[in-house]
Structure 1
Amino acid sequence: MRFAIRGRDAELAAIEDLLHRARAGHGAALLIRGHPGLGKSMLLGETGRTATTAGMTVLTANGVAAESALPFAGLHQLLAPLLGRPDAGGLLASMVRPDGARPDRFAAGLAVLGLLREAAAGTPLALLVDDAHRLDPDSLDVLVFVARRLTAEPIALILTAGVRHDQVLAGTGLSELHLAELDRDAARAVLDDRVPAMAPDRRDRTLAAAAGHPLALVELPGCLPAVDSAEVPLSERLREAFADRYAHLPEPTRAVLAALAADVDSPPDVVVAAASALTGAAVDLDSVQPAIDAGLLEIRSHRLRFRQPLVRHAVYHGLPVAERLRLHAVLADLVADDPDRRARHRAAATLGPDERAGQELEAAAARALDRGTPVPAVTHLERAADLTLDAARHTSLLLRAAEVASQLHDRSEAARLAARAEPVRGTTADRARQALVGDVVDPGDLRDEARIDALCELAMDAHEAGETDLAAALCWQAVSRCWRAGLPAEVGARILAVHGKLGFAGDDPRSVVVAAYAQPDVLGGELLRRLPALVPDRSDIDGMHLLAAAAMVLGDLRTGVSFLGTAVAGYRAQGRTALLVRALSATGFPRLWRGRWPMVRADLDEAEALAARTGEVFWQVAARAGQAMHEAMRGDSDAAVSLADQVLSSAQLTGVRSVTAVAQHARGVAANASGRYDEAFDLLVRMFDRTDTAHHPDLSGWALPDLADAALRTGRGREIDDILTVATARAARFPSPMLTRSLAYAVAVLTPDDAADDAFREARAADLAEWPVHRARLDLAYGTWLRRRKRILESRAPLRAARDGFDALGAAAWARRAREELRAAGEEDPAAGRGAAELLTAQELQTAMLAAAGLSNREIAQRLQLSPRTVGSHLYRIYPKLQIRGRAQLRAALNGQARDDG
């Protein structure tokens, strides 16, 4: 299969121009230089195809080191198709001297030029020579002679040569074209061509490692580790390509590269000192310059850096094992004042067991955990386990590594580490860790109360053994199961009682989140009063995540989204992908009610992609549930139902009522938006049946407005009187902001006409400044009620507010209803009869036209110099303004607007 040559438009244009001029009788020569793997041969191959298509005769040759000592070997290869011609005799005579004397290169040059002129008289010629630096000197001299005399000939000569062979063809006057690495867009296109189904995060890792190197983009997908790793194994082709860049450098310079490859964070003085120790002779900073000149190193922020990340891997893995061990031993001594780096190098300098090195790594892991950077702790603990001969200690260290991985919610890594440990017969802490890891890796049916009780018992055992943090982790695992499964309040009470014995302060994030998850009905009111008064340590990313989770459960979306924003930024900066997935999935859902819709899809799409990459299938399904709700609220019922059905059919949802409730809610909203009100009622009322799998004690209350809409439209309001009574009682003891606003809407909508005015006024008097969805829906419901009570003039203001609110959100179905009600109230929609130029801002109109032409968000962003997220935001505002549902309708909408505009 042939692939397009990406990112070489300028080079291909220059070559095509050269071929065009040659065909017109103005021949010329071109030398293409570049490092191995940058695509010189591929570019030359494309040149041959272009020349052939244009009707030129193509002659080719490849420089081969084995033939570089044979006079005219390269020239013979290039001209072989012409040597049978009658006029080739003079050339052959000049190349082979019967007396054994050295051939006359000048005579050979004239003979070659004459032969080429005769051959080109009928058909223009394209001479393509790859790896010219490997040609024999005689052939190279003749080709230079010919190249300088092609100005009036229908002949094009194109040669390629490696960068490090800069003396070859130097000073010849030939035009040169230098190949560099591809830019990011071209590199991404290469990957899309080769591996179109690559997971987004794996694609990003490949792009970062390849740094625009074409051969690396082709080879890395087959050898990049499945999990993120500091080490990248290179294929043989890649090793050869990058070894070529440094093999010719002076020994001191190669030693500098080796030292830097072993510790890329070392300052220059440490690098030079390590290089000196490696060579056994003094190495100074002057030895760095050849590597900079060769394009291998650069200086950034007063540190030496590899310009191409893969060169570092090629250098490091190209070192003999003994030399690598010696280098790490030297570096361990040189960084003695940095205990973490010293521990890492001492471990890397060790082949067999070494208790001292293992203890140093264990201490480094503890410091990493104290700093709130658990990712390196996992690596340190596993390596420490490999350095000990004590079987019990080996198992304990592996289980500690697995525990940290499980807290990072990296299931695959936790499972791998736990599998390496021996079956636990040892300490209480080890047994507790094994149970914790097992529950994260394979949670089973979340409704299993016996498993929750077992986790609580182990938590008490761990606490009594002095492992209080481990005990807290077990309680958190237990209460997470409890809340997600929607288990009865008495189960949560048992967990809370155990956690209360651990001795944590009431404002500790672990205490807050366990209380919120375990007993929201009982403690929710108190916790809601305390949350705004908390002054959290925003540098404690895990603590912020726990507080955010507590706020979400309690329906305080403002606090929850704020805290989650801190957690997302922290996890992203720390590279903690599995926890980033959870935070993104969690933050996308509440943002729907907060009106941040353009951000919602970006968060949920990223969460789903990262979850697929990390194997977090549960969170992939959870993100899809949020996407279903988003599509339903936007008014795309078909997409919402499709996504919700995927969620509800997932095997990952055994006993997970929290996600099931969201998907069921999305189906109900979609049915309402499509006018299927009886279906919507039947779907949504199930969420309030405690025996139904779609019921969740907290999330069901969020569906009250949609159930009320369906009940009003079907005349089945009396059927949910008991539901409203229960919700009212719950809101009285637990004033969840989300529940109280949802309940107020439902009560107002279903209140009989003689008291409805007061109910609406009470609902609208609540603080809805940061609740745009509830505010717009109340405006629509109230305006509709006023119009149907013949209070036409009064109805128009809330209906206008509703229309504008839904337009701003991008809620097409609700916006359409608001416009219908306005027209029924005798007010023409300002959008009616207006063209796109009036409805849209200039940038929105540009965006709409480009999207209608088929450009992707990324392509539109590049064209308009915006971010893809901004383009998405524009489109979400454009659709309701044009009264359409999505991208597929843009062209028709714009064409219709144009006709209306005359």
Structure 2
Amino acid sequence: MRVDGQPPVMHGRDRELAVVADLLSDARAARGAALVVRGHAGMGKTMLLSATRRIAADAGMMVLQTNGAEAEAALPFAGLHQLLVPLLGDLPALTPRLQRTLRGAFGEEDARPDLFSVGLAVLELLGDRAARTPLLILAEDAHWLDPETLDVLVFVARRLTVEPIAAVMAVRAQHTGVLARTGLSQLYLGELDDESALRVLGDHAPELPPVLRGRILAEAAGNPLALVELPRLVTADAGTGLPELLPLNERLETAFTDRFAQLPAATRAVMAVFSADAGCPLPALLSVAGALTGTEVTAAAIQPAIDAGLLQVQAQRLRFRHPLVRSGVYRSVGDIARLTIHSALAGALPGDPDRQAWHRSAATLGADETVSGELEATAGRALERGALGAAVTGLDRAAELTGDPARRSSLLLRAADLAAQLHDRRIAAQLIAKTDPEQGDAAGRGRLALVRDIVEPGDVRDTARIEMLCDLALDAHVAGATDLAAALCWRAASRCWWACLPPEIGAQVTTVLGKLDLADDDPRTLAIGAYAQPDVFGPDVLRQLPTLIPDRTDIDGMRYLGEAALILGDFVTGSSFMATVAAGYRAQGRGALLARTLSSAGFVRLWLGYWPAVRADTEEAEALAEETGEHFWVVAARASRALHEAMSGNSDAAIRLADAVLASPLVAGVRFAAEAAQHARGVAANAAGRHDEALDTLLRVFDPADPTHHLDMSGWALPDLADAAVRSGRQRDIEEIVSRARERAARFPSPMLHRSLAYTTAVLAADEDAGTAFEHAFAMDLTDWPVHRARLHLAYGTWLRRRKHILDSRGPLRMARDGFDALGAHAWGQLAREELRAAGEDSAGRTVTSGDRLTAQELQTAILAAAGLSNREIGQRLFLSHRTVSSHLYRIYPKLGISGRAQLRTALDALRQRQ
């Protein structure tokens, strides 16, 4: 039965069909999206994807499909190549860089492309074709796709919002991989209800006796495939002849293998070979099948399997009707036959060394150094193509096949290191657990500890871990591995700052640092010293940073300098470094490190008044950190966003973000994020007039015993602490805190700490001393510090008004109002207006500017477009398709009150002048 030319009715799946129909309709209207279909074996995922294909084809959409195959899961980008074969003729339309990227991924050029570059190339390729014909992407058995293909599909799926493209990916219900963690829409296929199950059974076994119908309905438990296949197990004389006490999947396999056993010998041979390698070329498939039977096997041998409903041809590719057919056939042929098949396949694929190596591996029992070496070479080729996941799998299997314990540990360590780079901590931890640390030399033990510290950081406050890292760093240095020693020191120093550990712990790190023979101006020397002992090394680092001429080709070195400047409070220098680093990581497609950099830059730029950039940086940082599995930096980005929202006067958003940060199980290891979240809560309470609550909230960040305390970052909160104390009349409650801050500032020339302390001193000063304190605060260079400048004007104007210097107060209060308005600090701007009214001057409410209406990504797009970049160039910078960039510009122009690209620079310059 067919309805409106659609595929056969799927009983009980009207809701699911409506969901995919809406998805396709939206895609044709350039509102693309992706859907992950989940369900246990036999629940109808294949049938739903077939129905989706038919609906799309009938609507004039082009359908691209890839099918996951267990035998190809270790072959990098195999699934992606299968998907894109129909579009490879469009490659010349891409930029030369993206062409090289995609060809490198497919092993056609020498390149080591990163995931983001491959994803962008695929997005552009798909989008260019979709501009002519809407596309449907189908991925069946996506849980068996190679990890590189899965990552690219997820990258693309997250960026379809303005594309005429729909993506539907089917996975087993128990899949816990990347598709389960993406935030993409999920559609779960559950059991059929009783009425629908009865209809399915009636369609496929109408003559079944009532007693068997009832039992099959009960045992199928709403599984559509079981309702179709279990009746075939009933024999004419078996009465209720269903196998007893077997799980449903095994009974379904039995149904398929029974049919397989009745096929001609040549057909069985073809299916047996195909079950071992579903991507095997047809000539090789028939050749190996012929070798098994001892006779010539032709393509005609495939037809009986198609007639029996075990194989099918789809999109000109042969495939099993269901994964249970493949698993049933593969198991049924027996162990010896499987070894023979894999060995024969290895010999039949001389032009595909990776496939050969994996088949030889499957045909090997026990250790075999030759095969192990071939798999290691396969891993090397995968690395050259940027396929870290495939390299991990290859190295792991190579380790299993070597009989040399030292080589085995070395291979496992390399695999663990790559898994850590992929942020797959579970796999990395499993590989580390199989590594024997006694088999390595000093450098090997150091590398193992370094990877373990990344994968299993444990409690960041664990001083024993720091001591171990320091000892291993010394050993590595003695062994001549100074770069490794510096990396171990950096991990130890980072722990010191992140956990705000006592100075004597940091001294252990800097003692080792002094023995590494690194140059005094080496970025690693400066960063490790700053992180481990900011009070001791900070003054010298702060003196050096502005005078350095960094190697701008060494992006990692620039990051060390930028982060050192950040934690020491030199935000002007740090911002310059971080801008270069972000641009470098963006160009290299290093999404995880870009997330870290943007998150860190968000904290810096917040105090320098680049608030639109803060919004853009932190939102992008959070999205990239989610996408790359950098969960610590998700927390950090949210903390920066929370503080930005609080200072902007958006208290509800600030509290929501701060609560999310402090509720995260990861926050104990990110003390600076906990401090920022608590700081945001205090700012929000101050803005709401709850000054006692604000003071109590902020006092916590200055208490070393509190989990939100951080020595360096608490100094940034001094102005808000002082405001809360003055407004609640509790100045005495913070006297000791301010005294300690003065003592520290006397030996630690942090620009941020000194400006914060100058404000605090002026606000807290007695009337007879306040004038001098304000003069001192204004005498500091505030050119690049608009937040401090506006707050000082507000505090000074307020002090003048309350001393009855009404006319004198109006100037500073106007500057405060204008400064806050330019920043977008609504609550502080309102406070300045109230003070002005009290001084006898009316002040109109803040006018919403065109810049306020731009989203973070629209602002990024506008800035890059104003700089002269094309839509494609902007897309490459922001990891978007050029059509998404075009859509952003379409919305940007009316928001800025302009008609085209040529006016962007003028409009943005006007915004900057107002700020």
Shared fold per TM-score greater than 0.5: yes
Deviations 1:572-617 (A, max 9, x none): 4444333333223222222211222223233323333343344433
| 8 Å contact kept, 1:581–1:619 | yes
Q: 1:532 aligns with which of 546, 554, 557?
A: 546
Whole-angstrom distance in 2 between the partners of 1:477 and 1:354? 37
> What secondary structure is seen at the aligned counterpart in 2 of 1:662?
helix
Aligned to 2:778: 764
Q: Deviations over 1:632-657 (max 9, x none)?
A: 11112222223222222332233643
Please state if 1:730 is matched with 2:681.
no
Report the equivalent of 1:668. 682
Q: How far does the alpha carbon of each residue in 1:311-348 deviate from its partner, in whole angstroms, 9 at most, with x for none?
A: 9999xxx9x9999978986588xxxxxxxxxxx89978
Separation of aligned partners in 2, 1:9 and 1:656: 41
8 Å CA contact 2:379–2:392 kept in 1: the answer is no
Q: Assess if the C-alpha contact under 8 Å between 1:631 and 1:640 holds in 2.
A: yes
How far residue 528 of structure 1 moved from its aligned partner, in angstroms, is 0.6
User: Are the equivalent residues in 1 in contact too, given 2:592–2:628 (CA < 8 A)?
Assistant: yes
Post-superposition shift, 1:456? 1.3
Check if 1:205 corresponds to 2:205: no
Q: Does 1:606 align with 2:620?
A: yes
Aligned to 1:541: 555
1:469 is displaced (CA, Å) by 2.4
Matches within 5 A, 1:772-783: 772-783=786-797
State how far apart, in whole Å, the 2-side matches of 1:809 and 1:682 are. Answer: 27
1:6 shift after superposition: 5.6
* Distance 1:636-1:396 versus aligned 2 partners, 3 A rule: same
Whether the aligned pair in 1 keeps the contact of 2:850 and 2:895 (CA below 8 Å) is no
Does structure 1 conserve the Cα–Cα contact (< 8 Å) formed by 2:423 and 2:629?
no
Assess if the C-alpha contact under 8 Å between 1:604 and 1:624 holds in 2: yes
Q: Find the aligned partners of 1:363 and 1:524 in 2 and give their Cα distance.
A: 42
Q: Kindly tell me: are residues 775 and 843 of structure 1, through their superposed partners in 2, closer, same or farther at Cα, counting changes over 3 Å? A: closer
Q: 1:774 to 1:444 in 2, by over 3 A?
A: same
Residue pairs, 1:643-682, within 5 angstroms? 643-654=657-668, 656-682=670-696
SS in 1 for 2:783: coil
In the other structure, the counterpart of 2:518 is 504
Please point out which of 739, 744, 748 is paired with 2:753. 739
2:485 aligned with 1:471: yes
Q: Is the 8 A contact 2:372 2:397 kept in 1?
A: no
| Structure 2 SS opposite 1:502 | coil
Q: How far is 1:563 from its partner?
A: 2.2
2:497 maps to: 483
CA distance in 1, matches of 2:428, 2:739: 46
- Supply the distance in 1 between the matched residues of 2:346 and 2:159 (Cα, whole angstroms): 28
1:711 counterpart letter in structure 2: A
Unaligned runs of 5+ in 2: 1-14, 31-49, 62-126, 140-149, 180-278, 286-314, 320-325, 327-340, 365-369, 859-879, 898-915
Asked if structure 1 preserves the Cα contact closer than 8 Å seen for 2:409 and 2:440, the reply is: no
1:827–1:489 Cα change, 3 Å: same
In structure 2, the residue matched to 1:684 is: 698
TM-score after normalising by structure 1: 0.58
1:5 CA drift (Å)? 4.6
CA distance in 2, matches of 1:368, 1:45: 37
Name the structure 2 match of 1:595: 609
Structure 1 residue 8: Cα displacement:
5.9
Contact 2:639–2:677 (Cα < 8 Å) also in 1: yes
Cα gap change, 1:744/1:9 in structure 2, threshold over 3 Å: closer, same or farther? closer
Q: Give distance in 2, aligned partners of 1:580 and 1:521.
A: 28
| Residue matched to 1:801 | 815
TM-aligned CA deviation for residue 505 of structure 1: 1.4
The normalised TM-score by structure 2 is 0.57
Q: Give the corresponding residue for 1:790.
A: 804
Deviation at 1:823, TM superposition (A): 1.5
1:418-457 alignment to 2 at 5 Å? 418-419=432-433, 421=435, 424-457=438-471
Q: Is the 8 A contact 1:37 1:213 kept in 2?
A: no
Q: Which residue of structure 2 lines up, in the alignment, with residue 283 of structure 1? A: none
Distance change (3 Å), C-alpha of 1:580 and 1:11: closer
The 10-residue stretch of structure 1 (741-750 or 454-463) with the greater mean CA deviation from structure 2? 454-463
Matches within 5 A, 1:133-144: none
Question: 2:398–2:411: 8 Å Cα contact kept in structure 1?
Answer: yes
Pair 1:549–1:407, CA change in 2 (3 A)? farther
Matches within 5 A, 1:546-625: 546-625=560-639
Distance 1:605 1:311 in 2: 43
**Contact 1:598-1:873 at 8 Å conserved across structures:** no
> CA contact under 8 A between 2:679 and 2:698: conserved in structure 1?
yes
- For the structure 1 residues 551 and 345, does the alpha-carbon distance in structure 2 shift closer, same or farther, using more than 3 Å as the test? farther
Report the secondary structure of 2:168's partner residue: helix
Separation in 2 of the partners of 1:868 and 1:389? 63
Q: Distance in 2 between matches of 1:409 and 1:865?
A: 32
Equivalent position SS for 1:678 = helix
Which residue does 1:822 correspond to in 2?
Answer: 836
Distance 1:563 1:202, change over 3 A: farther
Cα contact 1:687–1:696 (8 A) shared by 2: yes
1:65-464 superposed matches below 5 A: 182=130, 203-206=154-157, 216-219=167-170, 226=177, 330=351, 353-354=370-371, 357=374, 385=399, 388-403=402-417, 405-406=419-420, 411-412=425-426, 414-419=428-433, 421=435, 424-464=438-478
Q: Is the 8 A contact 2:500 2:671 kept in 1?
A: yes
Count how many residue pairs are aligned between Structure 1 and Structure 2.
Answer: 614
Counterpart residue number, 1:813: 827
Higher-Rg member (1/2): 1
Q: For the aligned residues, what is the CA RMSD?
A: 5.2
Q: Which residue of 2 aligns with 1:285?
A: none
Question: Which whole-Å deviations, capped at 9, do the CAs of 1:127-161 have from their partners, x for residues lacking one?
Answer: xxxxxxxxxxxxxxxxxxxxxxxxxxxxxxxxxxx
The residue type paired with residue 418 of structure 1 is I
Q: 1:384 to 1:529 in 2, by over 3 A?
A: farther
The 3-state SS of whatever aligns with 1:654 is helix
| Change in 2 beyond 3 A, CA 1:732/1:215 | closer
- 2:436 and 2:173 mapped to 1: Cα distance? 33
- Cα drift, residue 429 of structure 1: 3.2
Compared CA separation, residues 448 and 766, structure 1 to 2 (3 A)? same
Cα displacement string for residues 222-280 of structure 1 (whole angstroms, at most 9, x for unaligned residues) = 9999459xxxxxxxxxxxxxxxxxxxxxxxxxxxxxxxxx9xxxxxxxxxxxxxx99xx
How far apart, in 2, do the equivalents of 1:312 and 1:767 lie?
A: 70
| Deviation (angstroms), 1:568 | 2.9
Structure 1 position 523 matched with structure 2 position 537: yes
- 1:753 is matched with which residue? 767
Distance 2:851 2:783 in 1: 28
CA separation in 1, counterparts of 2:785 and 2:318? 52
Look up the SS of the partner of 2:755 in the other structure.
Answer: helix
Distance 1:653 1:613, change over 3 A: same
Shift of 1:702: 0.6
Shift of 1:737: 1.0
Which one-letter code corresponds to 2:659 in the other structure?
A: D
